[in-house]
Structure 1
Amino acid sequence: MAIRTVLLARHGHHAEVGQVLSGRSEIALDAQGRTEADGLARLVRPRGVTRIVSSPRARTRETAAAVAATLALPVEEAAALDEVDFGRFTGLSFAALADDPDWAQWNAARGTARCPNGETMGEAVARAVGFVAGLPAGVTLCVSHCDVIRGVVAHYLGLPMARIFQLGCDPGSVTTLVLEGEGARLVALNERSG
């Protein structure tokens, strides 16, 4: 059976990381993020990447472009790797969200609660897992977002969505899964260059 390896990379840092729920905004990488994207390219260079696929957001496309330039590969876009649709929460600071009962409910029931005017974590993970499960043989780099990556890993490890915060996923990091039949084996979590 041909080996299917997926490298799940989080985009590099941007000015809102840890401060604002950026969601599906088009915020670009900052200087730190561009450095992290270059580091990601160096980290994955020896891994035999045969395909690069990115979420359609600017920050993921920029990160993927840095890797693509190093590996001389094109970048494809896939809506299935897009950020969670946070609906009304998009663009709000975490400080502003702290007292929002809808935000508290969404965090308390991560697998099933719906973001107002958005999607559930379960829906976001299902679309990303569907994409990952359909990848062909070879090594595919998928550049996506923190919660999406954590959700995919949690799915394959059989963890409930409430436990995704136990999985590290730093900006510019890569998590490696080897797909085996309907399941996957976690090879590495939250690797960073340097």
Structure 2
Amino acid sequence: MPTLILVRHGRSTSNTSGVLAGRTAGVELDDKGRGQAEQLVERLAPVPIAAIVTSPLTRCAQTVEPLAKARGLDPSVEPDLTEVDYGEWTGRELKDLAKEDLWRVVQAHPSAAVFPGGEGLAQMQCRAVAAIRRWDRRIAEEHGPNAVWVACSHGDPIKSVVADAMATHLDNFQRIVVDNCSLSVITYTPTRPFVARVNDVGGDVAALIPKKDEKPAEEAVVGGSTGA
């Protein structure tokens, strides 16, 4: 039962342009995003990381590059962690998309939203969750149950994975906030996932350090944890 650290890519040139980049080629981190990627190295320094998996898009690869270099790891590319295929919406300005009827569906009933010429949000959640669980099993087999691994993806895929782990319907996933270069932490057990953090942009990571020979808990603490 490894610990998964989901990282959203750092701020990109598209995040401040008002344009829906989607899978557009050539979208890179801006200066702030590159700084966030460097800060990630220092922030996660105390945590042993067994593997790094990333979306194939440039902005995610750039986000994990400094961390991978510092740890001597070669990131694995996972196509199913890529951004939503927004189809005909790709490259359009958000202010114009907000006038579309589909925009209201995306906001209020995302499980029914299918982008013209692209994929549906439910389809995206299915492939993202399947990829995460597949990699989590692989990490456990190769590195043991106390391993910690990093997966770098995009806002909507991460929100959908967190929603699944919380057993909340995809129609609620717009209530989850995932900022650039934030950490969301999940542990999958044979019976259920445990969500330890969501959208953590600066908290202490000491709790993520595996304790030697400690068996990961499969049951929730009755009455709440002491935090010890």
TM value normalised by structure 2: 0.80
In 2, Cα distance between equivalents of 1:99 and 1:91:
15
Query: Which consecutive unaligned segments of at least 5 residues does structure 2 have?
Result: 141-146, 204-228
Answer whether contact 1:54 1:143 (CA < 8 A) is retained.
yes
Q: Larger Rg: 1 or 2? A: 2
State whether structure 2 residue 193 is matched by structure 1 residue 184: yes
Answer whether contact 1:45 1:70 (CA < 8 A) is retained.
no
Answer whether contact 1:40 1:193 (CA < 8 A) is retained.
no
Q: What is the Cα-based RMSD across aligned positions, in Å?
A: 1.5
* 2:11 maps to amino acid: H
Instruction: Look up the SS of the partner of 1:45 in the other structure.
Output: coil
Q: How many equivalent pairs are there?
A: 192
Alignment partner for residue 157 of structure 2, among 144, 148, 152?
148
Answer whether contact 2:52 2:149 (CA < 8 A) is retained.
yes
Percentage identity across paired residues of the two chains: 29
In 1, Cα distance between equivalents of 2:197 and 2:109:
27
Answer whether contact 2:102 2:113 (CA < 8 A) is retained.
no
State whether structure 2 residue 50 is matched by structure 1 residue 50: yes
Q: Deviations over 1:106-139 (max 9, x none)?
A: 3332112211111111111111111111222221
60-69 or 98-107: bigger deviation: 98-107
Q: Deviations over 1:11-67 (max 9, x none)?
A: 000122152211111300000000011112222222211000110000001001121
Number of the residue aligned with 1:83: 83
- What is the CA distance between 1:191 and its match in structure 2? 1.5
* 1:11 maps to amino acid: H
Answer whether contact 1:6 1:177 (CA < 8 A) is retained.
yes
Alignment of 1:65-104 (within 5 A): 65-104=65-104
TM value normalised by structure 1: 0.93
In 2, Cα distance between equivalents of 1:187 and 1:106:
27
State whether structure 2 residue 19 is matched by structure 1 residue 20: yes
Query: Which consecutive unaligned segments of at least 5 residues does structure 1 have?
Result: none
In 2, Cα distance between equivalents of 1:9 and 1:180:
20
* 1:69 maps to amino acid: K
- Relative to its length, the structure with more strand (as a share) is 1
